[in-house]
Chains A and B, each alone.
Chain A
Amino acid sequence: MKRKHRRLLFVVVSLGLLGSAAALILNTVEDSLIFFYTPSDLAARPAAPDNRFRLGGLVEKGSVRSKGKTTFFNVTDMNRTISVIYTGVLPDLFREGQGVVAEGTLDPDGRFTASQILAKHDETYMPKEVADALSKKGRWREGKSGK
């Protein structure tokens, strides 16, 4: 009985210690765990020029323009906005108002030159008819999950 309890205590204590160690490490290396920075993150902590990083946010509505294979658009987090320039093929799910992650560098003039664009999918799943009905009623984004 006694040895059983000692083993239980040992397992619980070592898991607790390992868990705290993991939490401390993850907290320290948080910067490298973040997949992308939002425009607000950049305002709070400016990136060095020529430093490659990923910029994420929503494609601002009405901001997409294209000239040949080059696309200009704005990435916004509803708080701050950064304009992005990208030459190449866009993913199918690249749409205005949808999430996007752009990898590239920030130019000195504050414009972001992307070398790769990834579309970010959100957690909403619904049939087209429901989406159409929702946007017709003007309840898009408001009644995300409802019929």
Chain B
Amino acid sequence: MLHRFASPARFSRIATRVLPWSVALTGLLFVAGIYFALFASPADYQQGETVRIMYVHVPSAWMAIACYIFIAAMSAISLIWKHPLADVAARAAAPLGAAFTLIVLITGSLWGKPTWGTWWVWDARLTSVLIMFFLYLGHIALTHAFDNPQRGAKAAAMLALVGFINIPIIKFSVDWWNTLHQPASLTRLDRPAIDPGMLTPLLLMGLAFMAYFVTMLLIRMRADLNAARARARQLSAAE
């Protein structure tokens, strides 16, 4: 199954065919999501209009974690099965994940000041997300730290797998330890603790962020493969 998509040429063909659709889908979802988030949803009974920060904060948190899981999976595939596209995918995803994490930290801080009364606290949730941001930066740095790109990819893949331990810590920090950050609203055993009128923009924005991630990932991977092909052609022309 995996090796059907192993050929970079085949991947580029599929990406080129999918991209117009995923760009259009991303645009549509963002327009709908932002409309619901800013205009067609109620203010919160406690937070007032500040609640709208959640429609950016929570989807980017989801995608920051999803992107890390994706990179860790690609790293395992690269280390174990030596799949040629896995390194490309991990390399393409890392800056996206770092950006999502930065958005989470900034929007969370902007929400924390009016709600909690502080920009930042060192509780388990906030600290573990900050560590994930540093893991992303470390991954990007390691990828480019070697003259031989394959060695860089290998080192970065190991870092991604070691850092994967942080993911369950982020997710369950709010349940395991007392934190200032509130526990999950959606993934509860009973019904979600969020009003349906607020759930619509949240889920729409979640889908929009996901579509954006897929689109950017395809663009970045295709660009990476094209650059490699251009380098190879240059080398063979120089001979």
Contact B45 A126 (CB under 8 A): yes
Q: How many residues of A contact B (CB 8 A)?
A: 46
Q: In the complex, which residues of chain B have a beta carbon less than 8 angstroms from the beta carbon of A50?
A: none
Tell me, in angstroms, the Cα distance from A35 to B122 when the chains sit together: 8
Q: How many residues of B contact A (CB 8 A)?
A: 45
Tell me, in angstroms, the Cα distance from A56 to B178 when the chains sit together: 9
Q: DSSP class of A's interface residues: helix, strand, loop or mixed? A: mixed
Known interface pairs A11-B79, A33-B177, A145-B190; A127-B195 also in contact (CB < 8 Å): yes
Q: In the complex, which residues of chain A have a beta carbon less than 8 angstroms from the beta carbon of B116?
A: 91, 93, 118-121
Contact B42 A19 (CB under 8 A): no
Q: DSSP class of B's interface residues: helix, strand, loop or mixed? A: loop
Pick the contact of B124: A35, A119, A121, A127 (CB < 8 A): A35
Nearest Cβ on chain A to B12's Cβ, whole angstroms: 26
Tell me, in angstroms, the Cα distance from A20 to B188 when the chains sit together: 26
Known interface pairs A34-B178, A128-B45; A7-B80 also in contact (CB < 8 Å): yes
Q: In the complex, which residues of chain B have a beta carbon less than 8 angstroms from the beta carbon of A101?
A: 180
Tell me, in angstroms, the Cα distance from A101 to B183 when the chains sit together: 15
Q: In the complex, which residues of chain B have a beta carbon less than 8 angstroms from the beta carbon of A90?
A: 117
Contact A123 B45 (CB under 8 A): no
Q: 0/1 per residue, A1-44, Cβ < 8 Å to B?
A: 00010011001000100110010001000100111111000000
